[in-house]
Chain A
C-alpha cells in the first residue's frame, strides 16, 4: 500500500502541466462553492436582520385584539412595570414601547392622514432601531416627519404642524408641534405616513398615561425567539397580552424568505454540480489519456487491482490537494470580503443603494460568512468525485487485454 501511494504521488508530478491544470480546476471549484455558500449565508442573515431589525424585533407584545383592529383603546397599561419585567429576563437584549395613533396633520389648510408614532428615541436610534441613525428626538413638542410625507405636505424642518386625532378615551387630541427634522428610515410606513414623537409626549396627546400599543423585544439569541416569546408570555405582568415571535407575527415574510433561500440553495446546487463535473471531466481525461501506459503495466504483469488502486490513489491525492488549496483560497476571499461586505449596487452599476423589501428598505451590501459544513461538504464531494471519475476508467482499462490497451 505504501508503495502504491508513493508511486501514485510520483506519477502525479510526471505530467506537471496536466496536474497543475487539474489542481487549478478543483481548487477554483472548491473556492467558488465556499464563496457562494458564504454569500448565501450572508444573504440569509441579511433578510432576517432586515425583517427583525428596525420594525419587528424578535418578539412583540400587544394588547389582545390590537393587531386585528388597531383600535386606540386596545392598549398595554402599566407600561413601566411591564417593561421592567421584560428587561429583567436574561434572554432579552432590549425592550422598548411604541404607540401608534392615526391622526390628521396639517401645516396649512389641507389635512393629511398620518400615523403618529410615539417611540423611545434612545432605544430606536441604534442600528436595529426604527430611526436608525437620525439625531435624537427632543421632547418639548418636537416631531420627526418621514421625508416623502414631508415632501407631500411641503414641510421643512422648523415648520409648525397641527395634529388632530382621537385620544384613547375618545377625547379630541389636538396640539401644535414643531418639525425637528425629516427622517429616512428603513421602514416605508414610517417614511410615507409617519410623524414620530417622544413616547411620553404621545401618551399625553392621546390620553394614554403609562400606556402603549406595542413592545418590541430584541433577543440575545435571535434563534431562540420562539422559546423566549413563550417564556415571556408566562410573566404575570403580561397576563392577557399577546406575545408572539417574529415568525408568527409575519408568517408571509417568513414564507417569502424561505422561498428566496430555496432559490439560492438551488443555485448553490447548480454551482456545485458544475464544479463536480469540471473535476470529473479532468479526472476522466487524465485517466483515459493513460490507458496506453496502463496497458504497458498490465503487459509487464501488474495485477489489475493494483492498477486501479494506483490510479484511484493518484486521483485522491490530486483531489485532496486541490480541495485544500481551494478551501484556503475560498476562505481567504470570504475573510477579505466579510468585514467590508460586497456592494451589490456597485456590481450592478446604477442599481439603487437600497432595496425595498416587503416595505422595509435594506442596504444592497452583503456580508459573506464561512460555514464549516460547506467546507467539509465541499472537500468530501471533491473526494467522492475524484474516486468515481478515476476508478471507472481505471477499472475499464485494467480489464482490457494488454494488447488492446497498448493499441488504444
Chain B
C-alpha cells in the first residue's frame, strides 16, 4: 500500500485475513518500524494492536471517520464496506464505451445515516469495478476510487490496483496493490479474537 502526501510517500506491506463481510484482520509487515501493528474488525467494532507497547486500543465511535494508519482510508471504510446493497437504491445510468460496461448511480435510502448521499459506480461488462465516485451528504464530490491493472490472482480475475484520491486535499493519494490473494482458505476461528491479536504478534 502506498500513502502519498504532499510531503512524503509511505509504503506499507500488509497481510490481511477476512471471513464473510464482518471479520477481518490486517497486519502491517513492513517497514520494520511499524511491523506487527494490526487492526482487527469484528462486526462494527475495530481494535488497533500496537506491538511496541503491547496494547490493544479500541477505535472509539468518534474516531471512525479518522484516518486509518495515516492513509486516506478511514476507520469507517474498514467497517462499512458491505452495505452498498442494503443502504442504497441503485439505478442504471447508461452504457460506457471504453471499457465496455455500465454506469450506475446509487442513491442513499432516506432512512440510512451514512457518509455518502450518492455513489456513482462504473463497471465493466464482466462485472469488475472501474471507478467509484463518492458524494458527501451535501452532494459534493468527496473522493474518487479507481480500479485497474486487472490480473488473475488466486484463480480469479480482478483489479489489482485500487487508488483512492480525496477531492478536497491536494496532493494526497492512497494506493492499494494486491500482491497475492488466496480464496476459500480455512482460517482458524480464533484468528479474529482479541486474545490472538495480543499474544502472537
Say yes or no for B25: interface residue by CB 8 A criterion.
no
Q: Closest CB of chain A to B84's CB: distance in Å?
A: 27
List the B side residues contacting A106 at CB < 8 Å.
55
Does B53 contact A169, Cβ atoms closer than 8 Å?
no
Which of A85-93, A172-180, A279-287, A323-331 touches B? A172-180
Within 8 A of A (CB), among B36-95: 37, 48, 50-53, 55, 57, 67, 69-71
A106, A163, A174 pick with most chain B CB within 10 angstroms: A174
Tell me if A's interface is mostly helix, strand, loop or mixed. strand
Say yes or no for A207: interface residue by CB 8 A criterion.
yes
Does A170 contact B50, Cβ atoms closer than 8 Å?
no
Does A169 contact B52, Cβ atoms closer than 8 Å?
no
Say yes or no for B138: interface residue by CB 8 A criterion.
no
B10, B37, B51 pick with most chain A CB within 10 angstroms: B10
Q: Closest CB of chain B to A165's CB: distance in Å?
A: 11
Say yes or no for A167: interface residue by CB 8 A criterion.
yes
Say yes or no for A122: interface residue by CB 8 A criterion.
no
Nearest B residue to A166, CB-CB? B70
Mark each residue of chain B from 1 to 24: 1 if its CB lies under 8 Å from any CB of chain A, else 0: 001010110100000000000000
Say yes or no for A162: interface residue by CB 8 A criterion.
yes
Interface bin, chain B: 10 to 19
Does A174 contact B70, Cβ atoms closer than 8 Å?
no
Nearest B residue to A169, CB-CB? B10
List the A side residues contacting B34 at CB < 8 Å.
171-172
List the A side residues contacting B33 at CB < 8 Å.
171, 207
A168–B34 Cα gap in the complex (Å)?
13
Q: Closest CB of chain A to B197's CB: distance in Å?
A: 15
Does A170 contact B71, Cβ atoms closer than 8 Å?
yes
List the A side residues contacting B52 at CB < 8 Å.
174-176
* Contacts A73-B5, A162-B53, A164-B57 given; does A171 touch B10 at CB 8 Å: yes
Does A172 contact B69, Cβ atoms closer than 8 Å?
yes
A167–B52 Cα gap in the complex (Å)?
14
Interface bin, chain A: 10 to 19
A167–B3 Cα gap in the complex (Å)?
13
List the A side residues contacting B57 at CB < 8 Å.
164
A164–B34 Cα gap in the complex (Å)?
13
Does B53 contact A174, Cβ atoms closer than 8 Å?
yes
Q: Closest CB of chain A to B1's CB: distance in Å?
A: 11
Does A172 contact B5, Cβ atoms closer than 8 Å?
no
A172–B33 Cα gap in the complex (Å)?
10
A168–B3 Cα gap in the complex (Å)?
12
Does B50 contact A169, Cβ atoms closer than 8 Å?
no
Q: Closest CB of chain A to B173's CB: distance in Å?
A: 13
Within 8 A of B (CB), among A142-185: 162-164, 166-172, 174-176
A162–B10 Cα gap in the complex (Å)?
25
List the A side residues contacting B53 at CB < 8 Å.
162-164, 174-176
Does B7 contact A73, Cβ atoms closer than 8 Å?
yes
Nearest A residue to B72, CB-CB? A170
- With A73-B8, A162-B50 given, name 15 new contacts (CB 8 A): A164-B57, A166-B70, A168-B8, A170-B70, A170-B71, A171-B33, A172-B34, A172-B48, A172-B69, A174-B37, A174-B50, A174-B52, A174-B53, A174-B55, A207-B33
